[in-house]
């Protein structure tokens, strides 16, 4: 036997049931032809190599790889992105995390990348494709918040926000499209916000940046439909992360101080009592199994998701009064 063909008794995808790697995805390959002959062996039928088919090594490898996808996730240094990368890495996928800072993890490969810089994105994609022959999934998670009154916001702050939340996401999609088009398949999730469907008080530009990404997503769905590539916006409610540490916070002028700090305290409380990031990962895992996607999906607590249909059902003034009450502005 040259080694190009191996006697294969069985091969299957499984979840490790015990030990250090309990709960971690694994692909089990049992070859026949063991000549040790341990008396306690519970698969003695594997000893005789001639009783099992000779299978090309390439075929065994292809079958194993079919259970593992190449996934790129942005913004993986902390929060939702880190949880997504670890979750899908634990499921046995080949996960590449792109963030400004290198992240230590045994479950995914971290590539320091500023996605607002196209040259850095191109380098990261080149590195990934030097190891992989396809890109199956892109999750555009990198983003930042911004709080403050519209009147108090300046051009530099607004541009910084849009440069990451909109342009960075677009540049990532542009970078993976050639490979996805070549393979005639792919899935792209743009992480948006329930707040993109409404102008949130003191988060107007954040809402606007996510709303802009939503409209780009809608337009691009038409443009890429010929290549079997699925694309959607996933609108999240409040998720329990450290987002408050990374928000742009404008200088608060005197007329807004009293009301701003009431709203700011409320929004931080909503985040502190938000959904755990791992629940987002579980939701995305189910979404990735769907063959055809809608343009928009919504995930979060009922009290936040219900605000979207209420905006269109209720009279404008009634809805605004409801939002003021929810944000503790009254």
- Residue 67: the pLDDT is 66
Annotated catalytic residue 192: yes
Closest CA to 50 of 62, 33, 75, 71: 33
Is there a single domain that holds both residue 126 and residue 205? Answer: yes
- Residue 2: the pLDDT is 55
- Residue 77: the pLDDT is 95
Is there a single domain that holds both residue 41 and residue 127? Answer: no
Does 198 reside within a domain?
Answer: yes
Annotated catalytic residue 77: yes
Length of the chain: 330
Tokens 């996928």 identify what position? 93
Q: Of the listed 69, 90, 179, 210, which one is catalytic?
A: 210
- Cα dihedral across residues 73, 76, 81, 86: positive or negative: positive
- Residue 39: the pLDDT is 82
How far CA 125 is from CA of 26, 47, 248, in Å, comes to 26, 45, 29
Domains: count for the chain = 2
Is there a single domain that holds both residue 73 and residue 204? Answer: yes
- Cα dihedral across residues 262, 264, 269, 275: positive or negative: positive
Does 93 reside within a domain?
Answer: yes
Closest CA to 231 of 283, 287, 161, 285: 287
Q: Of the listed 153, 192, 196, 209, which one is catalytic?
A: 192
Annotated catalytic residue 119: no
Residue 237, SS3 per DSSP: coil
Give the range of the structural domain holding residue 229, as residue numbers without chain letter. Answer: 68-326
Residue 109 bridge partners (DSSP): 96
Where residue 44 falls (left for φ over 0; alpha for ψ -120 to 50; beta otherwise) is alpha
Does 63 reside within a domain?
Answer: no
Does 214 reside within a domain?
Answer: yes
By the 8 A CB rule, do 115 and 164 touch?
A: yes
Mean pLDDT by 10 residues, the chain (330 residues): 74 69 71 85 83 81 75 96 96 96 95 98 98 97 96 97 98 98 97 95 97 98 97 96 84 94 91 93 96 96 91 94 89
Cβ atoms < 10 Å from Cβ of 104:
5
Sheet arrangement for strand 54-56: 25-31, 5-15, 54-56
Is there a single domain that holds both residue 161 and residue 81? Answer: yes
Is there a single domain that holds both residue 138 and residue 208? Answer: yes
Is there a single domain that holds both residue 237 and residue 280? Answer: yes
- Residue 132: the pLDDT is 96
Is there a single domain that holds both residue 135 and residue 276? Answer: yes
Is there a single domain that holds both residue 52 and residue 79? Answer: no
Q: Of the listed 90, 110, 196, 206, which one is catalytic?
A: 206
d(CA 195, CA 208): 9
Is there a single domain that holds both residue 52 and residue 180? Answer: no
Annotated catalytic residue 206: yes
Does 62 reside within a domain?
Answer: no
pLDDT tens by residue, 224-276:
999 999 999 999 999 998 777 779 999 999 999 999 999 999 999 988 899 99
């Amino acid at each position: 036997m040259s080694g190009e063909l191996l006697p294969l008794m069985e091969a299957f995808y499984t979840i490790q049931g015990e030990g250090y790697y309990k709960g971690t995805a694994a692909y089990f390959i049992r070859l026949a032809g063991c000549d040790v002959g341990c008396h306690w062996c519970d698969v003695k039928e594997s000893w005789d190599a001639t009783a099992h088919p000779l299978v090309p090594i390439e075929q065994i490898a292809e079958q194993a790889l079919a259970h593992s996808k190449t996934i790129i996730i942005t913004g993986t240094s902390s929060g939702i992105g880190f949880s997504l990368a670890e979750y899908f890495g634990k499921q046995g996928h080949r996960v590449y995390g792109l963030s400004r800072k290198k992240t230590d993890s045994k479950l995914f490969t971290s590539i320091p990348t500023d996605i607002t810089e196209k040259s850095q994105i191109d380098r990261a994609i080149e590195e990934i494709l030097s190891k992989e022959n396809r890109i199956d999934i892109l999750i555009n998670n990198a983003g930042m918040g911004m709080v403050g009154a519209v009147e108090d916001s300046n051009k530099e702050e607004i541009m910084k926000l849009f440069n990451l939340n909109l342009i960075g996401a677009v540049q990532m999609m542009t970078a993976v499209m050639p490979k996805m088009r070549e393979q005639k398949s792919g899935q792209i999730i743009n992480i948006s916000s329930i707040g993109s469907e409404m102008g949130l008080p003191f988060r107007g530009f954040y809402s606007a940046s996510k709303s802009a990404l939503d409209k780009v997503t809608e337009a691009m769905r038409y443009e890429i439909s010929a290549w079997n590539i699925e694309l959607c916006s996933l609108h999240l409610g409040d998720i329990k992360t450290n987002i408050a540490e990374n928000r742009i916070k404008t200088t608060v002028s005197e007329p807004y101080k009293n009301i701003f700090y009431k709203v700011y305290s409320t929004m931080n409380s909503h985040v502190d009592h938000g959904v755990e990031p791992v629940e987002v990962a579980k939701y995305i895992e189910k979404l990735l199994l769907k063959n055809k996607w809608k343009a928009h999906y919504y995930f979060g607590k009922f009290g936040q998701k219900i605000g979207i249909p209420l905006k269109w059902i209720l009279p404008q003034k009634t809805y605004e009064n409801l939002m003021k009450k929810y944000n503790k502005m009254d």
